[in-house]
Structure 1
Amino acid sequence: MSTKSETHYAERIGWLRAAVLGANDGIISTASLVVGVAAAHAARGNVLIAGVAGLVAGTMSMAAGEYVSVSSQADTEKADLARERRELEEDHEFELKELASIYVDRGLEPQLAKQVATQLMAHDALAAHARDELGLNEIHTARPIQAALASAVTFAVGATLPLIITLLSPEQLIVPGVAGGSLVCLALLGTLAARAGGADIAVGATRVTLWGALAMAATAGVGALFGTAV
């Protein structure tokens, strides 16, 4: 007899969040940097140097930031599990009643809730409390290295796109070329992220594109202002 295997969008949360964040930041920050420097009438070589520097710095920053933040989450999870393990050793009966009350709150009859809690704790007490009391499970468990690598790689890929456009565009068209090309890339990113996460495609694409346009407009304004002043 064959068994049906289901794939849920929630299983993608860990890597999807880090990947979308990295690619989005890579495109927006590098494109904004390139547009700002180009708007100040810098030569193509200087624009590229600024863009590459932004790519390297951003990649390292994303990796470090994700690793530190997700490691902090992992430390909190470990501390909660350690405290729960200690409470189970010190007062098993109270923990049984606590778990049963959680099931009652979710709609089970008190007697059935007690039976469920008893059987689950007999199988794996810590896992039962981690899942139903603390809200921890394998899908949402913090994975610092996975998050750091996903953010770093996707940031570098995203940041490379505005640099390629800068390299290929005529020098006088770098600003509109990078801005337009990056907005197209952001719209595609929002669409792909929405599809992978089961969300509304139009909302995902619009949200990412709008914020990217605002960032590039702001840096272009700053670059033009200082370029004129200098």
Structure 2
Amino acid sequence: MSDELTVDGGHGRNASRLNWLRAGVLGANDGIISTAGLVLGVAGATSAIGPILTAGIAGLVAGAVSMALGEYVSVSSQRDAERALIAQERTELRDDPDGELAELTAIYRSKGITPETARAVALELTANDAVAAHLDAELGLDPDALTNPVHAAISSGIAFTAGAILPLAAVTLAPASVRVAVTFVAVLVALALTGRISATLGGSGRRRAVLRLVVGGALAMAVTYGIGQLVGISGI
């Protein structure tokens, strides 16, 4: 084990990895539900595979691009805010180092550490990396572990695409007579699996997470399929 430890003991990086995994699962869920609703809606209006496949592919591409762009904008805004906080902390340390040292000492004293030990810890951390010490203690930020917006965008797009492929493949490969039923079941199984994974990552109850996703997904598919049938019958 290395003798050199980061200020947060690696917890910031672990939390970042956990958030990435959770975001991937949520992106896959979005891909599954939105694409399933789209293809089943079209399947409710027509049994021809051409329009169903076209709608599914269009939904997959549009959804993946939208997810990637949204994640890029969101993470870029977050990263800009974090960089502003880092710059502000650097300025404060430059302009008032004694005041910042007292502030860091007070933070550790508030955690139950004795005044002498708190000051010794603050002095040692400040000597090692004053900016990192203050960012961790005050804001819970790790300046070396900021999320990359490009990576986040690519990950979100891939996660959405991976989720969207399942209902698209099910509705395309299943025989016409059982196309809707096969897609419905495949989607519910996939949602149950991703719900279980999401609950495990988040440390929450698995049954509730799975039930919430399965019921929500079933309602979404039933509604879109019903609307598709109404449109098909009316000939709109």
Counterpart AA for 2:230: L
2:28 is aligned, of 23, 28, 35, to 23
Question: Residues of 1 paired with 2:188 and 2:10: CA distance?
Answer: 31
Check the 8 A contact 1:18/1:147 in 2, yes or no.
no
Q: How does 1:206-217 map to 2 (within 5 A)?
A: 206-217=211-222
2:162 aligned partner: 157
Deviations 1:179-219 (A, max 9, x none): 21111111122223344555543333223222222221222
Code of the aligned partner of 2:69: A
Distance change >3 Å, CA 139–CA 223, structure 1 → 2: farther
Alignment correspondent of 2:112: 107
Alignment of 1:229 with 2:218, yes or no, is: no
Deviations, residues 121-161 of structure 1 (Å, cap 9, x unaligned): 11110000111111112797323222212211121111111
State whether structure 2 residue 79 is matched by structure 1 residue 79. Answer: no
The answer as to whether partners of 1:190 and 1:205 remain within 8 angstroms in 2 is: yes
Give the whole-Å Cα distance in 2 for the aligned partners of 1:88 and 1:7. Answer: 24
Classify the secondary structure of the residue corresponding to 2:146. Answer: coil
Within 1, Cα distance between the matches of 2:179 and 2:26? Answer: 25
- Tell me the TM-score normalized by structure 1: 0.89
Contact 2:32 2:167 (C-alpha < 8 Å) held by counterparts: yes
1:67 is matched with which residue: 72, 77, 90?
72
Select which of 9, 14, 20 maps to 2:19.
14
Change (3 A) 1:101 1:7: closer
Distance 1:11 1:74, change over 3 A: closer
Q: 1:189 aligns with which of 194, 197, 213?
A: 194
Q: Which amino acid aligns with 1:85?
A: R
Matched, 1:124 2:129: yes
Structure 1 residues 202 and 139, CA, compared in 2 at 3 Å: closer, same or farther? farther
List alignment gaps of at least 5 residues for structure 2.
4-8
Change (3 A) 1:121 1:65: same
Separation of aligned partners in 2, 1:42 and 1:36? 11
Mapped partners of 2:108, 2:10: distance in 1: 26
Percent sequence identity is 50
| 2:6 aligned partner | none
How large is the Cα RMSD of the aligned pairs? 2.5
The one-letter code matched in structure 1 to 2:35 is T
Distance of 1:211 and 1:139 partners within structure 2: 39
The question of whether the paired residues in 1 share the 8 Å contact of 2:18 and 2:201 is answered with no
Q: Secondary structure at the match of 1:133?
A: helix
Worse-matched range after superposition: 134-143 or 109-118: 134-143
Number of aligned residues = 228
C-alpha distance in 1 between matches for 2:113 and 2:135:
19
User: Residues of 2 paired with 1:105 and 1:140: CA distance?
Assistant: 26
SS of the aligned residue for 1:142 comes to coil
What residue is the counterpart of 1:46 in the other structure? 51
